[in-house]
Amino acid sequence: MKAVAIFSGLVIAASTAWAAETPVPLKDAPGRANVENTCGGCHSLDYIRINAPFMNRQTWSAEVTKMINAFGAPVPKDEAEIIIDYLAANYGEK
């Protein structure tokens, strides 16, 4: 019974922390909605800004391809290109 109470407390604490998470604003440009809807469905959009200093078009393309092929992200090929274009233009090396 004590284990159930501890587990319940952890679930409540985790859900409270998750509910308090603020949305990550991405740069307003063509393709942003695709990134928010597709990428944000599986993971935090913070990853984009965290990885941006190290990424260029080639690495963003590899990252999107990895998400599709290795993790099974349901991204149609034409949408993948939109996402890569957005990421490279707005969060790529300058």
Model confidence pLDDT, tens digit, residues 49-68: 998 889 999 999 999 999 99
The label of the residue with tokens 């963003």 reads: 60
The domain spanning residue 77 has which CATH number?
1.10.760.10
What is the number of structural domains in the chain?
1
- Domain membership of residue 54 (yes or no) is yes
| Eight-class DSSP state of 44 | -
pLDDT tens column, 68-89: 999 999 999 999 999 999 999 9
pTM of the predicted structure, to 2 decimals? 0.74
- Domain membership of residue 6 (yes or no) is no
Residue span of the structural domain in which 64 resides:
25-91
- Domain membership of residue 18 (yes or no) is no
- Domain membership of residue 78 (yes or no) is yes
Residue 5 has pLDDT above 60, yes or no: no
pLDDT at 23: 73
Number of Cβ within a 10 Å radius of residue 63: 18
